[in-house]
Amino acid sequence: MPDAQSKRLRYGEYSILIIIAIIGLSGVIFFSNIFTFTLDFYFGMFLAGYGIFTIAFAFYYKAYIKREDNMMMFLWGYILTALGLALFFNLYTKNLLLNLSLAILFGAFLGFLTLRKTK
């Protein structure tokens, strides 16, 4: 991941905590038997949670991270979040390709806006 030299920036340590928290939440949802979800839901929850964390980290530490690393973190966070939400919404739409296509279309639009702003 990006080179973050400040003592306050601990992306790796925070991401391990987020991963453990997501796995714990998935376990609680799965073993409580209140809801029955497929594997898509749990994998989507993992990807979306980690992607949202990456985007939030990129925005929160924007002043401390190099511009290129910030853009990379934001775009990878978007990719993870879009894939996670596409898997999550597969429960409702039952059409994974539609969800992925909408995520790619939104990503292209977001990439266009990002490129215009950075020039």
Residues 10-26: pLDDT tens digits? 888 888 999 999 999 98
Provide the strand spans (E) within the chain: none
Query: How many other CB atoms are found less than 10 A from the CB of residue 10?
Result: 13
- C-beta separation of 87 from 51 below 8 A: no
pLDDT tier for residue 67 given thresholds of 50, 70 and 90: confident
The percentage of residues in the chain with a pLDDT greater than 70, rounded to a whole number, is 87
What's the predicted TM-score (pTM) here? 0.78
What is d(CA 70, CA 73) in angstroms, rounded to the nearest whole number? 5
**pLDDT, mean of residues 64-83:** 84
Residue 45, both tokens: 């929850």
**pLDDT, mean of residues 25-53:** 89
Comparing 23-27, 45-49, 69-73, 90-94, the range with the smallest average pLDDT is 69-73
pLDDT for the residue 47? 92
What is d(CA 57, CA 23) in angstroms, rounded to the nearest whole number? 20
How far is C-alpha 37 from the geometric centre of its chain's CA atoms? Answer: 20
